Structure 1
């Protein structure tokens, strides 16, 4: 292994001098600092400019008895501009040391920003590796809508759960915390013997040494940071495979395992149904993490292994979160304003399931959503604030948009669009404008009225 020389975390005043170009290496300064924030329309401070992460290798150790997390984040990225410095998002954890390409780097923490100044400037197009060693007691984050995310300690004190939508991943690892910068992940977690550490993707190994057990997970397909998860506890793990060979792994908290087992066993059935509508499943594994109701207040589509509180582990929510593996996880919104492309599609998947198995026509689901005044608070493609990013119109009215498209273009074309959209933007990011253009190109129709009234319109139309 290459020897790495580490540097202390500098005071803000010294760090500012270094950012101005006063480095001890004497290298000429030609780059500029990357932006602190990507200027997302709803979350201006999330993410960072100047680089594109390719891969995260996270090595973590957590002890529930002390609530202490120690971690090493090895971040491989490509500079998208000439860089003299760049930022990483990190919340309430201390960066103990930072290197860039094996050389010491100046670093300064202010709020949720960790500013890194490499020994020498990075040229546009350069691939570099930043290694951040960090530690502390990870915290939960309260969203603008008062939901809790980040690092959530379990109610029984035995473990913890990391959930990240929209900002929570920075509570447990430093990174470019915006959905527009997707990367592959290796996540290795060491916990006290007897506990399990569950994450995204494939379980590569499980090793016990003394009184500690290490779990290594690999996500080979790109993932947005908000979809990364770690669940630590006394989970019952059940591995299996679908008839097509897809790896399935469920993790059920023992307190809810008996009540959850039957539905967990239906995951292959739901995935098979979804592939008939949405095309090939985009990842190499699937599953679920089911926790007691007090541990988290909502279900979340964490990539390949959605998280469910026991009260929400039902068929409708399972269909919703499995549909997200295509819409939201594989095809990820370019900004948080495009979130209806996640939730409208997943809600419409619920309508399709009800149409096929419960004899409830999608039109009936549409009519119910239309009658719900909460769905008319704002246009689904234009949430007015961060507090409204998960509000009713993003879900219900988002699904109504899709149903109006279905009515306009007909079933055959509509279902081709559903599958084609997921295929065309597989593993990428997309905007609302990308979607409307795609639909019109594939259907050969001008759907301006649908977009103007149902997607962007501020008033409820006549029934």
Structure 2
């Protein structure tokens, strides 16, 4: 996501559904079940224990599928929604929480029976009519309404449902999903999605996955989308605006849907034309593209200041640079398909996407990755680049700061020069394949790198991602 919130491929630079229920890996089930205290009674915890966002997500259950039915009026900025969640309890539950910020809940049922609920900040606390047994699958239906708005992140930027002059720019990293639908809003919990979005005729509503069609009646148009591969809530979008739409299928069978604000169309055309070749190039490096659909949402949202790798279809707040397109496309492997389990591991997303920019430049007539590395290393020792280790930014305020992106990329370059190209690219392909549609941690990546390369890499990783300050030698 967003490069160090500026504009270049993410937050700073620009800072870069027939319901199909996503299965949950055994390891993830253990993570979710263990989110609460050992021996906890029958109450799901309000949060999964993330050190930077302690109330994000919830314990005691896994959401397999979200069916979101939304109706949005850009003039009055009112959102009416119904979310039906297909859920499996990972412990016995007499009470559980959903994340929902701001919007008014008008009805809530569990398995079609009215359930009790109350609000406490971002927590929607649900009391089902009867206890839910461990491993029981059930449906939660929540009807809600209101005027959604963004949340302010620890670094001062906005994410979530961000109104624009013709609709809404919807980008949920790290905590904005709760501004427009109730859910288990932490990357640990990945789910499949169906979206049905109704907007005034003349507007377009764009979500994740495969476009299933649209229908206009009574001055309104309804758009349907399906994301079958598991997706973290922060990667969901329902962006609305007046868009010029382009659809095609690539030679490899990927369904592309681009939605571009007409005011950004001319500036976007040349870069968007390269999307199929960028995805093909990345697939050669990292392994098969993880999804059936791809594309881009190019909005005009100057108040946002970043792009985001919303799954299958990144959203850009303006016409993207080619480097930004490369960055957000790389996230489809690193961040979207292989998803972090703790926000402190964000370098696994941003360092990898940033290094992909370096690789693309190196292989397409630009500077070598070594030259880019050397330029970064020449930065003074008191520069912010060296202010904290990429593998532990220290707080939510730092997860989109420069060390995560640039120093994370530098660590990967050191890994490449230490192990050699053959082993390095095998590490990346193996990482993407072994954790496809799942999760990964820094410890797992470093262990994989040592196993594939046959080298002791402890000192390398300690120096480049685990220690603050400028390393004494490049």
Tell me what 1:194 maps to.
Answer: 202
Aligned match of 1:169 in 172, 177, 180?
177
1:213 aligned onto 2:221: yes
Q: CA deviation at 1:309?
A: 2.1
Q: Which structure's relative contact order is higher, taking Cα pairs within 8 Å and 6+ residues apart?
A: 2
1:224 aligned onto 2:232: yes
C-alpha distance in structure 2 between counterparts of 1:350 and 1:404, whole Å? 16
Q: CA deviation at 1:103?
A: 1.1
C-alpha distance in structure 1 between counterparts of 2:86 and 2:289, whole Å? 27
Tell me what 2:249 maps to.
Answer: 241
CA contact (8 A) 1:31 1:123 kept: no
CA contact (8 A) 1:60 1:189 kept: yes
Q: CA deviation at 1:440?
A: 1.1
Q: Superposed, which structure 2 residues align to 1:426-445 within 5 Å? A: 426-445=436-455
Gap change, CA 1:293 and 1:232, over 3 Å in 2 = closer
Q: CA deviation at 1:131?
A: 0.4
Tell me what 1:5 maps to.
Answer: none
Aligned match of 2:270 in 262, 277, 284?
262
CA contact (8 A) 1:288 1:307 kept: yes
Q: CA deviation at 1:295?
A: 4.9
Task: Decide which moves more: 274-283 or 258-267.
Answer: 258-267
CA contact (8 A) 1:347 1:396 kept: yes
Task: Decide which moves more: 265-274 or 355-364.
Answer: 355-364
Residue-by-residue CA offset, 1:59-86 (whole Å, 9 max, x unaligned): 0000111111000000011111111111
CA contact (8 A) 1:153 1:295 kept: no
Q: Superposed, which structure 2 residues align to 1:252-401 within 5 Å? A: 252-310=260-318, 313-372=320-379, 373-401=383-411
C-alpha distance in structure 2 between counterparts of 1:200 and 1:368, whole Å? 37
Q: CA deviation at 1:222?
A: 0.5
Tell me what 1:113 maps to.
Answer: 123
Partner of 2:262: helix, strand, or coil?
A: coil
Aligned match of 2:160 in 127, 150, 167?
150
Task: Decide which moves more: 287-296 or 178-187.
Answer: 287-296
CA contact (8 A) 2:169 2:301 kept: no
Partner of 1:255: helix, strand, or coil?
A: helix
Aligned match of 1:411 in 407, 417, 421?
421
Q: CA deviation at 1:446?
A: 1.1
Q: CA deviation at 1:293?
A: 4.2
Count of aligned pairs between the two proteins: 431
Task: Decide which moves more: 365-374 or 270-279.
Answer: 365-374
Residue-by-residue CA offset, 1:192-241 (whole Å, 9 max, x unaligned): 11111011111112011111110010001000000001111110110011
CA contact (8 A) 1:208 1:214 kept: yes
C-alpha distance in structure 1 between counterparts of 2:61 and 2:145, whole Å? 24
C-alpha distance in structure 2 between counterparts of 1:241 and 1:342, whole Å? 27
C-alpha distance in structure 1 between counterparts of 2:340 and 2:413, whole Å? 20
Residue-by-residue CA offset, 1:363-395 (whole Å, 9 max, x unaligned): 111112223322211000011111001111110
CA contact (8 A) 2:187 2:342 kept: yes
CA contact (8 A) 2:302 2:318 kept: no
Partner of 2:328: helix, strand, or coil?
A: helix
Residue-by-residue CA offset, 1:257-305 (whole Å, 9 max, x unaligned): 1221221111101111111101100011111111114252101101111
Gap change, CA 1:293 and 1:106, over 3 Å in 2 = closer
C-alpha distance in structure 1 between counterparts of 2:86 and 2:397, whole Å? 32
Q: CA deviation at 1:339?
A: 0.5
Partner of 2:144: helix, strand, or coil?
A: strand
Partner of 2:95: helix, strand, or coil?
A: strand
CA contact (8 A) 1:80 1:124 kept: yes
Q: CA deviation at 1:359?
A: 3.8
Tell me what 1:446 maps to.
Answer: 456
Bigger Rg, which one: 1
CA contact (8 A) 2:44 2:58 kept: yes
CA contact (8 A) 1:148 1:297 kept: no
CA contact (8 A) 2:393 2:399 kept: yes
CA contact (8 A) 1:370 1:397 kept: no
1:136 aligned onto 2:171: no
Q: CA deviation at 1:358?
A: 2.4
C-alpha distance in structure 1 between counterparts of 2:304 and 2:195, whole Å? 22
